[in-house]
Amino acid sequence: MEMLIGLGVGSGIEWVVLLIVIPIAQRLADFSMPGTVEMAWKLLIIVLLKNLISLGVGEVAGGLVGSLAGAIVFWVGLWKVFDLDFFGAVIIVVVSWFVQWFLIGAIVGAMLAL
């Protein structure tokens, strides 16, 4: 049960981060996205699939392999669902990774400070 709660909370946070990051990445890579509502539900599906595959592969083959599998699913999902070019999808993945790493570091740092 704890794993499902963690998966849900993590997916929710990642989804919100992507809704913030994509406009920034659009300016860096000069690509267009669909309307906000359509983009939001498609991103939610991609994030959930990425996290489920990452979790499943990570349980079998280890965390690093799971993270790589999740990143590949995420990139292919962005590329195919939103019809982005290679560079646009890479920009979104890289920018979202940096934002997520920063947030994780801030949260862990705050928890350790308590």
Candidate from 28-32, 62-66, 103-107 with smallest mean pLDDT: 28-32
Question: Do the Cβ atoms of 27 and 94 come closer than 8 Å?
Answer: no
pLDDT value at position 12? 81
Q: Averaged over 43-50, what is the pLDDT? A: 85
The pLDDT assigned to 79 comes to: 80
For residue 86, the model assigns a pLDDT of 78
**Given phi > 0 = left and psi -120 to 50 = alpha, else beta, which region is 30?**
left
pLDDT, residue 30, reads 67
Instruction: Please tell me whether the overall predicted TM-score, pTM, comes out greater than 0.85 for this model.
Output: no
* Banded pLDDT at 45 (limits 50, 70, 90): confident
**Using CB atoms within 10 A of its CB, is residue 84 exposed (0-12), middle (13-18) or buried (19+)?**
buried
